[in-house]
Structure 1
Amino acid sequence: MKKTIQHLQKALDDLVSVNSLFTFAMFVGISFASSNVHSLELRSECQADKDTRMNLLVNEVVSFACFLLSSLVATALKMHLSTYLAVGPEIIQKFRNPCLSMLKNLMILVSTLGSILGCIYLTLSMVDVVRVLLGKLSCMRSDTIQAAGSLIAINVLALAIYVPFMMLAIYQSYFNLDKAQK
């Protein structure tokens, strides 16, 4: 039982660590939105407009909110597990309630979805950074298309790997914990 809880706490720690790393990247994007960075594109019609910079800022803020939600929920789950270890399974059994189990599962889902949505909005904001620095995508400049396309493709691949394994680790740990409680 203790090993299962420690495994789950490690998975939640990893989720919070990834969120922290992405939050740092988000602040880099905000610095591009707020500074007076000029585009490397010389044609004025291909330079990013004010709306692109606003969009960048909105995507950064939403990304931050998603990562914060995910991290706070994961931390709450970790605190619940620490309490479980401190109090002991005998006392917890007295308060066993199917609604609490559903709430834990919902919290896992919210934490994971928050991280996923944060990654998606961070990717969108990084595409906006590319648009600010290299020019509009509609101008079809090869550097801009390559940078944005690579960014999107690599992030989709990373999410396709990260999401199933993270969810599997967390859900298996909770399943084993629920099984051990019975």
Structure 2
Amino acid sequence: MAPPGDSDSSGKKSVVVTALDGVINVNALFTIAIFVGLSLASPGQRSLNSKESCQPGILTVKQLVIFEVLSFSFFLFSSLVAQAIKLSLNLLSSEELAHGFSVVVNEKILKAGMLMTAISSVMGCLFLMISMLNVIEIKTGMLFCGAKSTIISVTFLIVLVVSGLLVYISAAWYAFTHARVHFHRQRTGL
């Protein structure tokens, strides 16, 4: 027979694990975008803009690679931390360990790990956005040339990504400051 607080703690664990799964899946999708961007990082790329002065230089291609690698690094770090937390929660709450053991998850460590995951995801998104600015310049011409297609693309990219990040940061901040997560399983006996 399960202890009284056991179903509540497994429900909380399930919510945390589901949230971590979501972070890992989104990071994987963003990683695919990174490799698409890296496929455009070859010297001599010509944009659709016909003016020679609007063609991207080698500096734009180098910046694309740098920001893509930074973005990939943050997404990978975020996913690895999320996976480590998820693995720990699943191992600590496994049925094999339930008999005769008391499992206490340190709330501060859990929140610190979740915070590292969230911050790394935000940083990865920012660097991915910057790298996408380079992709736009490679495809439609340099921003300083004032091509309508470049300006519209950059404007929508910045407005939508920053808006999405503000919503994500607000939700994460609310969760960190208002949520109380306690996983405590009483000793069940032998």
Report TM bin, short chain: 0.7 to 0.9
**Residue of structure 2 aligned with 1:92, choices 86, 89, 103:** 103
Q: Is the 8 A contact 1:12 1:170 kept in 2?
A: no
Alignment of 1:93-172 (within 5 A): 93=104, 100-166=106-172, 168-169=174-175
Match of 1:176 in 2: 181
Once the two structures are superposed, residues 26-55 of structure 1 have per-residue CA deviations (whole angstroms, 9 ceiling, x without a partner) of 111001113753211111111111000000
Cα distance in 2 for partners of 1:65, 1:57 equals 12
Q: Which has the higher helix share?
A: 1
Query: Gaps spanning 5+ residues in structure 2: where?
Result: 1-8
Structure (1 or 2) with the larger CA radius of gyration: 2
Asked whether 1:75 is paired with 2:83, we answer yes
Letter in 2 for 1:102: K
Percent identity, aligned pairs only, is 31
Structure 1 residue 83, shift from structure 2 partner: 1.7
Alignment CA distance shift 1:169-1:34 (3 Å): farther
The aligned runs of 1:18-33 (5 Å cut-off) are: 18-33=26-41
TM-score (norm 2): 0.83
Q: Show CA shifts across 1:149-170 (max 9, x none).
A: 1111111111122233345457
Structure 1 unaligned spans of 5+: none
Q: Aligned in 2, Cα 1:176/1:166: closer, same or farther, shift over 3 Å?
A: same
